[in-house]
């Protein structure tokens, strides 16, 4: 009888333990491609080693627009997940509403102030509190090129727009699509913001960070819009609307010679078994080599139920562990957020990105499209206008400049 009672108690304890573990954490994010899935699975497996289950809540939506809509809807319905990917300026908006847990205790215990790069620390802090676990840093102004095609046609990675036009012309005459590109709004505007950066970093900051109305009447904005339109001739006709990983496949398969995309594309190329040293190369978008147009991926812990806090803090601590930082970045294509990462685990593209990003705050330029430069409302309005201009050749450059200027005047500066 005693033995039976002990057995029942043991089973009850085991069941309770399993139930606690099975509760885990719901994680809302937009990492959907093959390389992104591999990176997510890496975090999930290591979280499982901490006896916490990662319940995946992926919302495929490219740059995260769909995930943001779902998160807002679930918050209103009082059905928020425990963890959400919330990047850039939006992070502070959520924190001001009191919807995010502060991670001060985790940060203090893990000495994040000693581990984190200063720009990353600033991106996750508000009023002296820490509101996210930073996962990695991406360089957006990256020009990928197919090494085999460039070698066959005796081309070098273009350093300026004249060299880009020459390379594109040679590839076009050989029957190769010079530039892999999607007509998805965020992908079009990603290309556009790199073109703007090539017009000058102070000009970029005036447009997208300070939102100075006078900058929208500047001839350099007209030149950037005109270049965006002219580059259409180097793309598939008509320009297809497709996911970014499908765009990347066109480069990987040798159907296209070049592609402008954040270095997350490197993760997608390498997960297909392609080597950076043999199959593809990584350079800067022409005219932007001195600058690091960046995006920082972050996971925030939502203030849902206090009972989840221990698990949420375990995930935050895990994300900031040097082992995970180095291994995750290797898969994802990013660079770690650490002051002292394992450089031996980085390829030449990642090492160049890390060296540039850490060289000076002056070279760090926050991405408009990827929510680092401005708030969500303004970002969405600018993306919509640029996309509209890209699709319709009947819209004039001057009209688009006026409309973008109206957006800048209608909203205050980013806080």
**What does the domain layout of the chain look like in residue ranges?**
23-138+296-358, 142-293+363-410
Q: Cβ(82)–Cβ(95) under 8 Å?
A: no
Share of the chain above pLDDT 70, in %: 93
pLDDT of residue 5: 34
For 23-138+296-358, CATH gives 3.40.190.10
Residues paired with 57 in a beta bridge: 28
* CA distance linking residue 386 with residue 403, whole number of Å: 10
pLDDT of residue 1: 38
156 preceded by a cis bond (ω within 30 of 0): no
- For the chain (length 415 residues), average pLDDT per consecutive 10? 36 36 82 95 96 91 74 83 92 92 97 97 97 98 98 98 98 98 97 98 97 95 98 97 95 97 95 87 98 97 92 98 97 97 94 98 97 93 97 98 93 57
Residues paired with 29 in a beta bridge: 58
Q: Could you write out the DSSP letters of every residue in 177-208? A: EEEE----HHHHHHHHHHHHHHT-HHHHHHHH
> What's the whole-model pTM score?
0.92
pLDDT of residue 59: 86
pLDDT of residue 62: 63
* CA distance linking residue 224 with residue 158, whole number of Å: 18
As separate numbers, helices (DSSP H) first and strands (DSSP E) second, the chain gives 19, 12
142-293+363-410: what fold?
D-Maltodextrin-Binding Protein; domain 2 (3.40.190)
Domains 23-138+296-358 and 142-293+363-410 fall in the same CATH topology: yes
* CA distance linking residue 173 with residue 106, whole number of Å: 57
Identify each DSSP E strand in 199-320 by its residue range.
256-260, 280-284, 292-301
Closest CA to 98 of 292, 304, 258: 304
Residues paired with 143 in a beta bridge: 260, 283
pLDDT of residue 262: 97
Element (H, E) at 58: strand 54-58
Residues 6+ apart with CB under 8 A from 159: 286, 289
């Amino acid at each position: 009888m005693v033995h039976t009672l002990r057995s029942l108690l043991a089973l009850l304890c085991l069941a309770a333990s399993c139930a606690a573990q099975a509760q885990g954490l719901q994680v809302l994010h937009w990492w959907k491609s093959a390389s992104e899935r591999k990176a997510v699975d890496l975090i999930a497996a290591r979280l499982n080693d901490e006896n916490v289950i990662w319940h995946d809540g992926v919302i495929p939506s490219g740059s995260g627009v769909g995930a943001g809509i779902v998160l807002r809807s679930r918050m209103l319905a009082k059905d928020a997940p425990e963890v959400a990917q919330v990047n850039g300026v939006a992070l502070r908006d959520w924190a001001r509403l009191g919807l995010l847990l502060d991670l001060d205790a985790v940060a203090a215990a893990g000495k994040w102030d000693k581990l984190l790069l200063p720009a990353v620390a600033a991106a996750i802090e508000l009023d002296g509190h820490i509101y996210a676990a930073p996962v990695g840093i991406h360089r957006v102004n990256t020009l990928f090129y197919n090494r085999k095609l460039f070698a066959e046609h005796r081309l070098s990675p273009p350093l300026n727009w004249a060299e880009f036009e020459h390379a594109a012309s040679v590839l076009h005459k050989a029957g190769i699509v010079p530039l892999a590109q999607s007509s998805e709004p965020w992908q079009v505007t990603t290309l556009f913001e790199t073109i703007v950066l090539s017009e000058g970093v102070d000009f970029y900051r005036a447009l997208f960070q300070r939102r100075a109305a006078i900058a929208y009447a500047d001839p350099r904005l007209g030149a950037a819009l005109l270049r965006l339109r002219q580059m259409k001739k180097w793309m598939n006709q008509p320009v297809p609307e497709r996911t970014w990983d499908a765009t990347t496949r066109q480069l990987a398969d040798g159907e296209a010679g070049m592609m402008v995309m954040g270095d997350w594309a490197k993760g997608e190329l390498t997960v297909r078994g392609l080597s950076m040293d043999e199959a593809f190369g990584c350079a800067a978008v022409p005219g932007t080599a001195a600058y690091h147009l960046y995006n920082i991926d972050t996971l925030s812990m939502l203030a849902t139920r206090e009972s989840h806090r221990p698990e949420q803090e375990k995930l935050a601590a895990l994300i900031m562990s040097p082992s995970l930082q180095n291994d995750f970045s290797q898969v994802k294509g990013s660079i770690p957020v650490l002051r002292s990462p394992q450089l031996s685990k980085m390829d030449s593209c990642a090492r160049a990105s890390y060296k540039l990003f850490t060289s000076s705050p002056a070279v760090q330029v926050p991405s408009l499209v990827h929510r680092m430069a401005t708030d969500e409302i303004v970002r969405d309005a600018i993306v919509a206008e640029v996309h509209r201009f890209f699709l319709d050749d009947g819209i004039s450059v001057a009209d688009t400049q006026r409309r973008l200027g109206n957006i800048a005047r209608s909203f205050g500066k980013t806080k």
